[in-house]
Amino acid sequence: MNKKASIFLVGPMGAGKTTVGKRLGETLALEFIDSDHEIELRTGVDIPYIFEKEGEPGFRRREKAVIADLTLRSGIVLATGGGSVLDPDNRQCLAGRGFVVYLHASVDQQLARTARSDNRPLLKNSANRREVLETLFSQRDPLYREIADLVLDTDERSAKALVKEIQDRLADPDS
Ligand SMILES: Nc1ncnc2c1ncn2[C@@H]1O[C@H](COP(=O)(O)OP(=O)(O)OP(=O)(O)O)[C@@H](O)[C@H]1O
Ligand SMILES: O=C(O)C1=C[C@@H](O)[C@@H](O)[C@H](O)C1
Ligand SMILES: [Mg+2]
């Protein structure tokens, strides 16, 4: 792969985009950036606060500006927000400007991995987290696949193993 190319991680909440992305950046000596974190840096507040004050549409506008900017950077590993693929312009930026890896996780695995945190507004106030995750998954799985250069199932696989597989696939795309 072109050393200057960026790697964009997409997938649902709890797929491991942040965890795998950090580790992948270290392994490949590429800067790691998380679009959710970038939104928080730019606004000076956290994501639950943005949802509270501006609703999801306000958050999506901010996310769109960040995706447009960050996908112009070369040589980065970018972990994207779980809903970033909803916007067609975001999908075009991601698909056209880097190597897109879809970290797939079953709803059971997403539930387990998001159980202990309360920083995800779409899950926080829901009585039925499974139902929310299933609905989001059915809407978004086709969108993740539409732009993915590589789809990896993350269930019961360590971040270390996933990083190794991404590294191998980048070195030899036919493997
Ligand atoms: N492959 C994995 N194996 C075991 N645990 C994992 C794995 N990937 C992530 N986790 C754990 O799952 C939780 C969620 O992971 P992470 O925050 O990386 O997901 P995310 O895809 O960035 O989610 P979000 O879209 O909400 O930002 C963390 O506690 C992390 O340690
Ligand atoms: O799945 C989603 O829509 C979201 C996922 C998180 O990464 C954040 O971007 C935010 O909580 C929304
Ligand atoms: Mg994350």
Model pLDDT, residue 2? 53
Prediction pTM value: 0.96
82 lines ligand 2 (CB under 6 A): yes
Render pLDDT for 37-94 as a digit per residue (tens, 0 to 9).
Answer: 999 999 999 999 999 999 999 999 999 999 999 999 999 999 999 999 999 999 999 9
162 near 154, Cβ under 8 Å? Answer: yes
- Structure-model confidence comparison of residues 38 and 116, the more confident one: 38
Model pLDDT, residue 126? 83
- Show Cβ contacts of residue 164 under 8 Å, excluding neighbours closer than 6 positions: none
Please, what is the average pLDDT of the chain? Answer: 94
For residues 116-142, b (16+ Cβ closer than 10 Å) or e, as one string? Answer: eeeebbbbeeeeebeebbeebbeebbe
Q: Which helix (H) or strand (E) holds 101?
A: strand 98-104
CA separation for the pair 14, 37 (Å, rounded): 15
Domains, the chain: 6-171 (3.40.50.300)
- The binding site for Mg(2+) consists of 18
CA separation for the pair 40, 117 (Å, rounded): 17
- Show Cβ contacts of residue 112 under 8 Å, excluding neighbours closer than 6 positions: 14
Indicate whether 1 pLDDT > 70.
no
36 lines ligand 2 (CB under 6 A): yes
When pLDDT is averaged across residues 158-163 and rounded to a whole number, the result is 98
Place of tokens 């949802």: 51
When pLDDT is averaged across residues 14-30 and rounded to a whole number, the result is 97
Three-state DSSP class for 153? strand
Mutate to test the pocket of ligand 1, among 10, 13, 17, 19 (most ligand atoms within 8 A of CB): 19
How much of the chain exceeds pLDDT 90, in percent?
87
Q: How confident is the model at residue 116 (pLDDT cuts 50, 70, 90)?
A: confident
Structure tokens at 146: 């539409």
